[in-house]
């Protein structure tokens, strides 16, 4: 893949292979009636999904927690390339708006002879520019702090 790149810590990368063609997997992420069936997990339900799937379009996902609280996720599509790639910002709504923070979610749908490998990358940075600007700093933090035995001890 020409898109593959090493995400900068802290980033979450999950890979999963589905026995379905990638257009179907892509549809599950881009059709509200399908997305609401899997984005709600466990006791969490998704009463509302609004999506404007085009580059620059926005989306909004409402999740209902078991205690009745409603959580909101919203963001903007940065890249929509059916059926292979979807890049969007992802922002959890917080009680205090100043605690909110745009993150970047990248979904890659790779064709494996009719099956689909989904690669999900969730990063703390809102876009590739800001990730690149922060790369050196994060790398240093991780390098210097990850090895600190005494911080580990304090956590225990």
Partner 1 sequence: MVNTTGQLDAVFSALGDPTRRQIVERLARGPLSVGQIASRFSISQPAISRHVRVLEESGLLERHVLGRVHTCTLSPTVMKAASGWLDKQRSFWTAALDRLDDLLAESPKRKKIR
Nearer to partner 1, 17 or 55 (CB): 17
The residue from 41, 66, 68, 95 that contacts partner 1 (CB under 8 A) is 41
Residues 6 or more apart from 138 whose CB is under 8 A from it?
8, 9, 10
Nearer to partner 1, 1 or 147 (CB): 147
Nearer to partner 1, 4 or 144 (CB): 144
Q: Tell me the window of 14-22, 49-57, 74-82 that interacts with partner 1 (CB under 8 A).
A: 14-22
Assigned token pair, 44: 């969490």
The DSSP secondary-structure symbol of 25 reads H
State the minimum distance, in angstroms, from the CB of residue 152 to partner 1: 9
Q: Tell me the window of 48-56, 75-83, 99-107 that interacts with partner 1 (CB under 8 A).
A: 99-107
**Between the CA atoms of 2, 3, 4 and 9, what dihedral angle is there, to the nearest 10 degrees?**
150
Q: Tell me the window of 4-12, 48-56, 76-84 that interacts with partner 1 (CB under 8 A).
A: 4-12
Residues 6 or more apart from 56 whose CB is under 8 A from it?
76, 77
Nearest to 104, CA basis, from 36, 10, 25, 35: 10
Query: Among residue numbers 111 through 150, which ones bind partner 1 (CB under 8 A)?
Result: 114, 118, 120, 122, 124, 126, 130, 133-134, 136-138, 140-142, 144-148, 150
How many residues in the chain?
Answer: 156
């Amino acid at each position: 893949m020409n898109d593959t790149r090493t995400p900068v810590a802290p980033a979450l990368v999950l890979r999963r292979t589905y026995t379905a063609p990638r257009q179907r997997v892509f549809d599950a992420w881009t059709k509200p009636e399908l997305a609401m069936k899997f984005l709600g997990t466990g006791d969490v339900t998704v009463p509302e999904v609004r999506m404007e799937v085009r580059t620059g379009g926005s989306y909004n996902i409402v999740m209902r927690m078991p205690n009745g609280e409603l959580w909101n996720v919203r963001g903007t599509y940065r890249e929509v390339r059916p059926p292979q790639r979807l890049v969007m910002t992802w922002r959890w709504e917080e009680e205090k708006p100043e605690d909110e923070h745009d993150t970047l979610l990248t979904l890659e749908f790779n064709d494996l002879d009719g099956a689909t490998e989904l690669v999900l990358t969730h990063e703390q940075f809102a876009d590739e520019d800001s990730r690149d600007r922060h790369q050196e700093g994060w790398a240093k933090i991780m390098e210097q702090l990850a090895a600190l035995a005494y911080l580990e001890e304090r956590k225990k």
